[in-house]
């Protein structure tokens, strides 16, 4: 049985994962209108993954006797300065999500809720992978450079990463 504190924190995380999904979908739309189909497809695919992260938490709360609740989801930012701006924002976002997951893990541990602690290990590993993925993209953008030709290759590369890693 989940404590009220954990139910509230898990529900907040559900809402945050759905927000992440909307954020990446919005970024996909920006990339699409600016002529970056590879980035757009990668981000849209990632949006679906974030939705699944939220659903997995939602199911866990229900299975554990809690009331899963989706909170208000604010509209994500829709305008960005560049592809680099987008991926800098994704990395910062993932780092913030990792902090939230770590807080959940700490709470489960402090409460001696080892079932939830164990369940959250999947998210801990996932956040490691997500930060690695977005850090890798940010590094590639820096190395290749922001001129026209560079951006063309970045888009192609990121499109391929979506198929492989996303």
> 64 phi and psi, to 5 degrees?
-100, 10
Residues 6+ apart with CB under 8 A from 7: 61, 66, 67
> Does the protein bind ligand FEO through residue 94 (CB under 6 A)?
yes
Binding mask 119-138 for ligand FEO (x = CB under 6 A): -----------x--------
> Does the protein bind ligand FEO through residue 88 (CB under 6 A)?
no
> Does the protein bind ligand FEO through residue 104 (CB under 6 A)?
no
Q: Count the Cβ atoms, other than its own, within 10 Å of residue 159.
A: 18
Residues 6+ apart with CB under 8 A from 45: 162, 166
Kindly state the tokens that stand for 84: 């680099």
> Does the protein bind ligand FEO through residue 107 (CB under 6 A)?
no
> Does the protein bind ligand FEO through residue 27 (CB under 6 A)?
no
> Does the protein bind ligand FEO through residue 13 (CB under 6 A)?
no
Residues 6+ apart with CB under 8 A from 73: 15, 18, 19, 22
Minimum distance from residue 2 beta carbon to ligand FEO (Å): 20
Nearer to ligand FEO, 126 or 150 (CB): 126
Kindly list the residues in this chain that would bind ligand FEO in the complex (CB under 6 A).
17, 20, 50, 53, 94, 97, 130
């Amino acid at each position: 049985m989940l404590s009220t504190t954990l139910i509230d924190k898990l529900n907040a995380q559900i809402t945050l994962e759905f927000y992440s999904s909307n954020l990446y979908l919005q970024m996909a739309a920006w990339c699409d209108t600016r002529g970056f189909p590879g980035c757009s497809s990668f981000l849209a695919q990632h949006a679906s993954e974030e939705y699944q992260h939220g659903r997995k938490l939602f199911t866990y709360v229900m299975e554990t006797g809690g009331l899963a609740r989706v909170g208000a989801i604010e509209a994500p930012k829709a305008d960005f300065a560049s592809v680099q701006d987008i991926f800098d924002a994704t990395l910062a976002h993932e780092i913030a999500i990792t902090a939230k997951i770590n807080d959940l893990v700490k709470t489960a541990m402090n409460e001696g809720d080892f079932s939830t602690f164990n369940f959250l290990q999947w998210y801990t590993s996932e956040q490691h992978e997500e930060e690695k993925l977005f850090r890798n993209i940010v590094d590639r953008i820096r190395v290749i450079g922001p001129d026209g030709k560079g951006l063309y290759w970045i888009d192609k590369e990121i499109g391929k990463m979506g198929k492989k890693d996303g």
